[in-house]
A and B are shown apart, each in its own frame.
Chain A
Amino acid sequence: MKKERTFRRLLRLLGGSKKTLLAVFALVLLGNTALLLAPKRIGSTIDAIFAGEPWLSLLLSLLLFYGIGVLFQWLSARLAVRVAQETANTLRKSLFEKLSRLPLSYFDRTPHGDVISRFTNDVEAVSDGLNSSIVQLISGVSSILISLGFMLYLDVRVTVVVLIATPLCFFVGRAITKYGKKRFREQAKILGDVNAYAEELISSAHTVKLFRYEGRSAEQFDQLNKKLYDAGYRAQFASALVNPTTRFVNNTAYVLVGIFALLVRMSPGSIAAFLNYMSQFSKPFNEITSLTMQVQSAMASARRLFALLDEPEMSPDGTRSLPEKPNGEIDFEQVRFSYDGKTPLIKSCTMHIPAGTQVAIVGPTGAGKTTLINLLMRFYELDGGKITIDGVDISNIPRNELRKQFGMVLQESWLFAGTVRENLLFAKPNATDGEMIAAAKAAHAHAFIERLPNGYDTRIEEEGSNLSAGQRQLLAIARMMLVDRPMLILDEATSNVDIVTEMRISKTFREIMRGKTTFLIAHRLSTIRECGMILVMEHGDIVEYGTHDELLAQHGIYDRLYQSQFRHDTT
């Protein structure tokens, strides 16, 4: 059932290039017919030569058949490559566009390696499967039918011998491949285990050394390695059996046909032609065995691709809009939220944040401080209630417009492979150099950027691996400074920056935060105490909120946290 649907969807994907596909069909069919006429011609030529009849015209027509056949084969292969690559490309692009429409929860719960593997391995498997199956299937089936026709024409009795021998070869091959497939699956699984183990241990070399784990891990590795040997040599042997067995059946058929043809007194030319057709007839059978495996793996991959394409998307964007310069008055009205729809985190939160308030979010490790940011930016949707900005329900505002209201620096600073300049201008592509440098200076990043080999044009490697965590964070801050947004979110924005720089940046932050509603996740008490409002989170829920003094007076969780955490920092 499901398989059927996958197959039909794959065909629909190919539908875009229907005309090219028809051309491929026609070319393959014509080319094959021309090539298959050749053995008959060879036979006739031999017979003509030995009968002393004129043979030159026969030979010239043979040459013509060969020429046409090869030319058409080449053209069809060229077209097939184009179809397969274009299909793969369309698929890849629509997958990427799909990613843009997926909610953030998808990215948080799916391992990125798995998504990447779908884009690369699976798309490739589908495109390879399409590419080879298009051409091989048509040409294989047409070869079988045309050769069969010619063989019957040459001699029915000998054909019967071939008809018995060749499918036998096909079934023997199938049986071996089936046995091999099981072994291969076994081997692939263990190989995966070995690779995963090696990857885990080698990338943790630091810990392995410090805890003197080298010897013990080598023993574990050897155990896995031994298993790999057991599965590996069986799989390899099984696959290595296919060729000799096929050769055996083919050669036997060859001998039998030769002998039998002599017994029924066929002409030498016919024998030659017949032997040739026989090999043309049996070859596709072997190819089809490997083809079905390829098609199967293409189908398996296609299923994974369609699964991604079928992921539920974000709800459509609303149409309300915010005023040009919103004040930043934020209200939570009976907000309910959970990540999985089952365990509620925020049960019912109602609070009012006046415009221009600095809000500190505090709470023990793992209390879900970033959840709040996820909700404000609509990375995740509420289960109930609403959040409003200047009275407008944010779920009615187009997401992009909402997000343009916030300047954000996250704990993990993300950069992409490109120059420093490109990374900064990411926030505002049309900013001038002056604006960019001003932002970098404000973030105290200008000095170190200048020291880089090519200044602002220095290339940053993938994920910023050639910069320190602190430098990456400074760039992320500069990027945020480049855009002037009415509200700010700072999630431990300076956690990786050294102490002196941090102190200087805090000063800048204090300036840009003035008059703007700001959400801060911070550890430092001095920062927290300065804030107009403190949100206390525990087990994912907002449990208290108010000013520092109000919360202390409540003698609640904040008071306890304060007593245990910050006592040391005060004197």
Chain B
Amino acid sequence: MRKTEQSPPVIRPLAVYLRPFLWKCIAGPLCKLFEAILELYMPLRLAGVIDRVLEMQTAGEPYRDYVLREGAILVGIVALGLCSAILCQYWASQVSQGYGTKLRSVLYRKIQSLSHRELDAFGTPSLINRLTADVNALQNAVAMLIRLVIRAPFLCIGGIVMAFWMQARLALVILFAVPLLLLAMALVTRRSVPLHAETQKKNDRLTAILRENLSGVRVVRAFTRTEEQEERYRENADDWMRSAVRANRAGILLSPLTQLILNFAVVLILAISGWLFTDHGDVSSGDIIALINYVNQILAAVLVVSNLVVLYAKAYVSAKRVCEVLRTEPETQDGEVTEGIPGEAAVRFRDVSFSYHEKNVLEHISFTVERGMTVGLIGGTGSGKSTLTHLLSRLYDCTDGEVLIDGVNVRSYTLEALRRKIAVVPQEVQLFSGTVAENLSLGDPNASRETLERASRIAQADGFIREKENGYDASVARGGRNFSGGQRQRLAIARAIAAGSEILVLDDATSALDYATDAAVREGIRRELHGVTLFMISQRVSTVRHADLILVLDDGRLAGAGKHADLYRTCDAYREICRSQNVTGEGENA
């Protein structure tokens, strides 16, 4: 494939993974080449036999033994061709699948190593597509590389050469037919490709409408808009059909066009040989039969080549997409420290700022949290509460200032050591398919059953887990769909507790729980987890009011920090939140 100058190399970084299969990569096409040579040789030899026998028949010589011997040799040639083809196909399968497997594994590890900023930039669906569809396209391309890339052009060029060698003047016809054929292919492709792209776009739109109507079925029906939606779907469906018909019709022109060219070539060969024969008598019937055979062969090969071009154009796009991921250097690089400094504050923010997409999300945040403290984070949506905790576990790196855990900058830790220190219950709970126990031991694969059960009790999850058929070995469906929202949240809390980390972050982790359960969970955590530094993000004052330190965030700035009663007196933002929830300044902590 040709590549433009400014774009980075695409083929070489991907070709590296072919190296372990090098000799099969060379031997495969050679076998295929050998088969192609035999395939070209066979009609030639048969044509010779036909001519020779006709001569013998005219001369009245016995030809039977000669025919049988030649027949046996020809069948032998065909069989030899089969063997070498099978060998090639076998290697091609091994190499291409092996290549795909390797690439998939490398790419998967790479994706796992990317930080959130890069993952967001690529987008999850795109990454999944690259890992599956694009790797498959490349795998296919490798298979075709071994199987066809040598064979098809060879058959094409070889056929032309052989035809010339047999009958140069007749073969000129082929030289006219091939460019015509290529021209026809180019024209049809140029017309149909944009039409197909347009059809694809319309198809996406139609699917989007369907998806919306599935997810929004309650709203559509509540607003009694069913008929309008049907009309909208019908219009788009008809529109799509019209473009699909147009695109397909442009494509089906190719087959009749190539046939037409091919047939004219045959007619021309006959016409020319008619004139030549009557004038000079130097064309044999065997020649004509062989030539017509070559015409068919060459044109079939040209069609294969054209398909290959399409395949490789697609593969090139895939290669670029895969390379783009492989080339991405993750922003979060590992540090070397594995242990914090004893006696230092658990968490310290020093004038931390963070911006995302050139927008300041956090500005000049400073605070210190001692070990074992409970910290409440409160503020409106988009005030930067979650982001603040993301900086702790380095899901993102702060743009300015520094974040210290146990007196050490988070960037200096190995990611493994850093994230072992922090257990998070994210806003959106993600459970994995597997068993309940497997999910709970995600943070510490060696956690004992007792640890898991204790964690579940604290998270108020033990009860419903035991009610399941297999208890802790009950299976969890993809995304935890066989659990309710509140149950998923409690499982996530139990999972975080079971990890046994020094810092526990609850990011609005009890939003799907009712007050009673929420209160029980918080009480359990406070009672059972001694020495654990706790971060609680919430919209509810009642959740954070008892915290040792409440951080009030307002549009990315720290509007206040302190205990409930003090903040109520000094911080306007906090007082407004409290009033909206009917909470007053007094409390046990005051």
Set of chain A residues within 8 Å of B218, measured between Cβ atoms: 104, 377, 379, 410, 414
Q: A62-B267, A198-B132, A200-B433 are in contact. Are A49 and B273 (CB under 8 A)?
A: yes
**CB–CB A236/B97 < 8 A:** yes
Interface status of B4 (Cβ within 8 A of chain A) = no
Contact pattern, B 110-151, Cβ under 8 Å of A = 1, otherwise 0:
011110100100001001100110000000000100010000
Compute how far the CA of A16 lies from the CA of B5 in the bound complex, rounded to whole angstroms. 55
Instruction: List B residues 475-526 near A (Cβ within 8 Å).
Output: 478-479, 484-487, 495, 499, 511-517, 519
Q: Which of A249-301 contact B (CB under 8 A)?
A: 251-252, 254-256, 258-259, 262-263, 265, 268-269, 271-272, 275-276, 279
CB-defined contacts of A502 to chain B, threshold 8 Å: 580
Within 8 A of A (CB), among B233-247: 233-234, 237-238, 240-241, 244-245
A59 with B267: CB separation less than 8 A: yes
Find out whether the CB atom of A210 lies under 8 angstroms from the CB atom of B57: no
Query: Residue B197 at the A interface, CB < 8 A?
Result: no
A145 → chain B closest CB, angstroms: 20
Residue of B nearest to A218 (CB): B109
Q: Do B274 and A229 have beta carbons less than 8 Å apart?
A: no
With A202-B111, A268-B286, A429-B228 already in contact, the answer to whether A571 and B393 are too (CB < 8 A) is no
Are the C-beta atoms of B580 and A500 separated by less than 8 Å? yes
Residues of chain A lying within 8 A (CB to CB) of residue B240: 89
Q: A240 to chain B: which residues have CB within 8 Å?
A: 89, 92-93, 143, 147
Contact of B539 among A56, A200, A499 (CB under 8 A): A499
Beta-carbon contact of B430 and A207 below 8 Å? yes
Q: Which residues of A contact B53 (CB under 8 A)?
A: 262
Judged by DSSP, the binding face of A is helix
The answer on a CB contact under 8 Å between A78 and B249 is yes
- Whether B224 lies near A498 (C-beta < 8 A) is no
A197 to B255 CA separation, bound complex (whole angstroms) = 41
Q: How far is the CA of A404 from the CA of B580 in the complex (A)?
A: 33
Interface contacts beyond A462-B208, A463-B215: sample of 14 additional A-B pairs, CB < 8 Å, sorted by A? A38-B263, A70-B260, A96-B233, A206-B426, A209-B395, A209-B415, A210-B419, A214-B109, A214-B113, A403-B221, A410-B218, A414-B218, A427-B223, A569-B581
Is B225's beta carbon under 8 Å from chain A? yes
Mostly, the B contact residues are: helix
B420 touches A212 (CB 8 A): yes
The answer to whether A100 touches B71, judged by C-beta atoms less than 8 angstroms apart, is no
Could you tell me the distance in whole angstroms from the C-beta of B467 to the nearest C-beta in chain A? 12
The answer to whether B582 and A366 have CB atoms under 8 Å apart is no
CB–CB B210/A119 < 8 A: yes
B323 within 8 A of A: no
- Structural contact, B219 and A569, CB atoms closer than 8 A: no
A-B contact pairs, 9 of them (CB 8 A): A203-B128, A209-B419, A212-B443, A229-B100, A262-B67, A364-B516, A365-B514, A426-B223, A470-B382
Of the 9-residue stretches A327-335, A338-346, A559-567, which lies at the interface with chain B?
A: A559-567
Asked if B50 and A262 sit within 8 Å, CB to CB, the answer is yes
The residue from A52, A247, A468, A499 contacting B580, defined by CB atoms under 8 A apart: A499
A565 and B516 form a contact (CB under 8 A): yes
How near does chain A come to B556, taking the closest CB pair, in angstroms? 14
Q: Which of A19-27, A220-228, A381-389 contacts B (4 or more CB under 8 A)?
A: A220-228
Chain A residue numbers with a CB within 8 Å of B542 are 568-569
B288 touches A46 (CB 8 A): yes
Contact yes or no, A229 B517, CB < 8 A: no
**Which of B218, B226, B228, B240 has the most chain A CB within a 10 Å cutoff?**
B218
Tell yes or no: B108 within 8 A of A by CB: yes
- The one of A208, A243, A258, A564 in contact with B516, judged by C-beta atoms closer than 8 angstroms, is A564
In the bound complex, CA of A259 to CA of B225 (Å): 75
Closest Cβ of chain A to B442, distance in Å, is 4
Give B215 Cβ to nearest chain A Cβ, in Å: 6
| A99 interface residue (CB < 8 Å to B) | yes
* Interface 9-residue window, one of B78-86, B166-174, B363-371, B527-535: B78-86
Compute how far the CA of A255 lies from the CA of B45 in the bound complex, rounded to whole angstroms: 10
Residues of B within 8 A of A237 (CB): 89-90, 93
Whether a CB of chain B sits under 8 angstroms from the CB of A241 is yes
Contact status B259-A244, CB under 8 Å? no
Contact with B along A161-196 (1 / 0, CB 8 A): 000000000000000000000000000000100111
A49 and B49: CB pair below 8 A? no
In the complex, the 7 A-B pairs of residues with the closest C-beta atoms, listed nearest first: A565-B515, A498-B380, A268-B285, A365-B486, A244-B85, A240-B89, A259-B71
Please tell me if the beta carbons of B395 and A206 are within 8 angstroms of each other in the complex. yes
Give the interface centre of A71, A116, A429 by most chain B CB atoms within 10 Å: A116
Task: Decide if A503 touches B245 in the complex (CB within 8 Å).
Answer: no
Q: Is the CB of A564 within 8 A of B539?
A: no
B570 within 8 A of A: no
- The verdict on A408 contacting chain B, using a C-beta distance below 8 Å, is yes
A74-99 interface with B by 8 A CB criterion: 74, 77-78, 81-82, 85-86, 88-89, 92-93, 96-97, 99
Report if B381 contacts A (CB, 8 A): yes
CB pair A49–B256 under 8 Å, yes or no, is no
Q: Does B248 contact A (CB under 8 A)?
A: yes
CA A495 to CA B226, docked complex, whole Å: 27
Q: Establish whether residues B581 and A275, one from each chain, have CB atoms under 8 Å apart when the complex forms.
A: no
A365 touching B517 in the complex, CB below 8 Å, given contacts A262-B50, A526-B582: yes
Q: How far does the alpha carbon of A120 sit from the alpha carbon of B209 in the complex, in Å? A: 12
Q: Is B422 located at the chain interface by the 8 A CB criterion?
A: yes
- Picked from B222, B230, B249, the residue with its CB within 8 Å of the CB of A406 is B222
B442 touches A417 (CB 8 A): no
